Structure 1
């Protein structure tokens, strides 16, 4: 099986997007499949047009000259489509697997139809909702509606559609996409990277001035993550648990505002910002945290999309507490594998975290249950099998001549 992946961006850039991609491609390679990846213009200018990173062959698209929307997006689609076509000539894929956002899917669709290749389009989040969550778009705007319509148009024409969670699947079905056409390939964890619970690094803890009641967040600082609510919860938490501290590892658009909020807090000395750390160092910081907190705000993006970070924490046998948005409810069973608290409510956050710190008797059993859930249902080595029947069906139909664009597979 030869799979050509089409990506917005990839390694060596580091993000949840690139880590999911890495896990998928490594798991497919472990099955003996041949894989290659084409990255889009948003990878940025690179020194090499072709390079192997972490064992994966990447082919880079030269970014076109920037133009105002929508001309800039059209140029990106054209540039990526040209590179996909060039790579397809050499790689000879059985299936093209394009990953959201929609620009990459559109570029892949043009090549797939010209070359009579089947296309699987994978959605990790709706681009229009991600723009709202990142503060670069407005729900219900003309651009928002146009992007949603384009995504629906593409899903109707792809041969199969993969989504990362039930929330996205349900939304597509409501748009009229046939349920049989959609598979759920949930976020998973590479247990080779996150499989061993980290030991506490006493030296690092001493260096950072951390004690034995540490609440942590490790990830990107976007508004929708709700870190402002977590910081706002700290005075009440410290009042209930005087030794409680907050450790924030990462960075992003909200970092300056969050640092200013923390500096103005009456418990500012209990809040530590670390900044971004290399991926290889992340485990050291997981080992310092007693409870990983994920206070995502309630909005369409967080209700529909499941995050990756709580799964990584559960794999590391960390205690997890998260807001009760839809994406978290798909991953966490309240009181069983984690704790859920009311979203957008600092008082609820403080109460939930104080309760966890006050009674640790259930922590060992909860850690085991959370780890078992990841091993059984969110392990990439087994998750990857969800793609196989779709790939096989599409590839065999193409080989025996029964596959046609806009066939019943496309309904």
Structure 2
């Protein structure tokens, strides 16, 4: 079997109506598959006003707004009409991208129809409940996710650190890697724009600490704000630059210093300019499985101060491309920030090392690795093999 023989049914709870790293990765995968002759059909809730033009044919599935987070939609399942479309398409592999109801139904259908099915892991959903005072639900959510992933032929993590977590959680006995890439021709240090900085009221010698991404509580907004408070109390001069948008923006604006700058949502060249015009990235989140913004910041030549958590552990080299800090340790985050604020040489050295690391991540290479995983699993099934249901 060759790549051009693939017919991939991709199931996503959110393929194009919110722009985030997971959706952009899925769209890039679809583009890569189609470029190489494979056929892809996406099954996802549809929106009359998608956040960005999507790649591939999207078949809508019924969904309702997610309670408390109306920007997301919660799929309700696979209707008979969608099942008929799936049959007509004749997929030879299913790919689910999130552990919600649509993913569960897709896995059930795949097993009923004897079609191989894989899952990609994009975020640590079980940890989200910590940020909404419902941490007691985490073991139950983890158990539900484990049941889903155990029914798949294989699962794919975006980093080795996340793959190890999945193995320790006994999520699957076949865990592969589908990493993420970065466009180094767009994200690079040459995008730094002193004129743009000055227009925002930032002095040339003023260190800028960036937050990049959707402004939601699970990104560690509380730890970010507390770390900035500690840094300010120590008398270190700095500015905060928030690049992104999200439902917790009002809370974040009220929590950060009055001189913090919010750029709103940025994309493409504008996003690259904003990142490269900062001096360091502070990423205290523990929910990422990879950290697209971390890689983009490294490509732009910024040192990264991140939580010692999945994703960052596979990207940030302690003391070389930045610092890895114990999750939630605001005092230690502030100490790391202080060093990079006060030592331009250390900033430049870590930024150059990060840029060199980022050049190893190309989209074609990482998507090609996932496609090889598809082919391996299909060949295994065609040879009479079955999914691994217990440890080897």
TM-score (norm 2): 0.83
> What's the counterpart of residue 211 of structure 1?
203
- Which of 92, 98, 104 is the matching residue for 1:94? 92
Are positions 1:347 and 2:328 aligned together?
A: no
Cα distance, 1:325 vs structure 2: 3.3
The 8 Å contact of residues 163 and 169 in structure 1, kept in 2 or not, is answered as yes
> What's the counterpart of residue 291 of structure 1?
280
User: 1:129 aligns to what SS in structure 2?
Assistant: helix
Cα distance, 1:96 vs structure 2: 0.9
Count of equivalent residues: 377
> What's the counterpart of residue 27 of structure 2?
22
- Which of 154, 173, 192 is the matching residue for 1:160? 154
Deviates more, 1:87-96 or 1:284-293: 87-96
Note the aligned Cα RMSD (angstroms). Answer: 3.2
User: 1:220 aligns to what SS in structure 2?
Assistant: coil
Cα distance, 1:194 vs structure 2: 4.2
In 1: Cα distance, 2:334 partner to 2:49 partner: 48
Deviates more, 1:251-260 or 1:311-320: 251-260
In 1: Cα distance, 2:142 partner to 2:327 partner: 26
Cα distance, 1:39 vs structure 2: 0.9
The 8 Å contact of residues 61 and 76 in structure 2, kept in 1 or not, is answered as no
1:3-402 mapped onto 2 (5 Å cutoff): 3-40=8-45, 43=46, 45-46=47-48, 53-63=53-63, 76-79=76-79, 83=82, 85-130=83-128, 132-135=129-132, 138-141=134-137, 144-177=138-171, 179=173, 181-186=174-179, 188-191=180-183, 194-212=186-204, 213-234=207-228, 237-238=231-232, 243-262=237-256, 265=257, 268-269=258-259, 271-278=260-267, 281-296=270-285, 301=287, 305-376=289-360, 378-398=361-381, 400=382, 402=384
Deviations 1:290-322 (A, max 9, x none): 11111236xxx46xx332210111122222222
Segments of 5+ residues of structure 2 without an aligned counterpart are 1-5, 68-72
Cα distance, 1:29 vs structure 2: 3.2
In 2: Cα distance, 1:222 partner to 1:66 partner: 15
Deviations 1:204-234 (A, max 9, x none): 3222101232111111222243333333344
In 1: Cα distance, 2:358 partner to 2:310 partner: 18
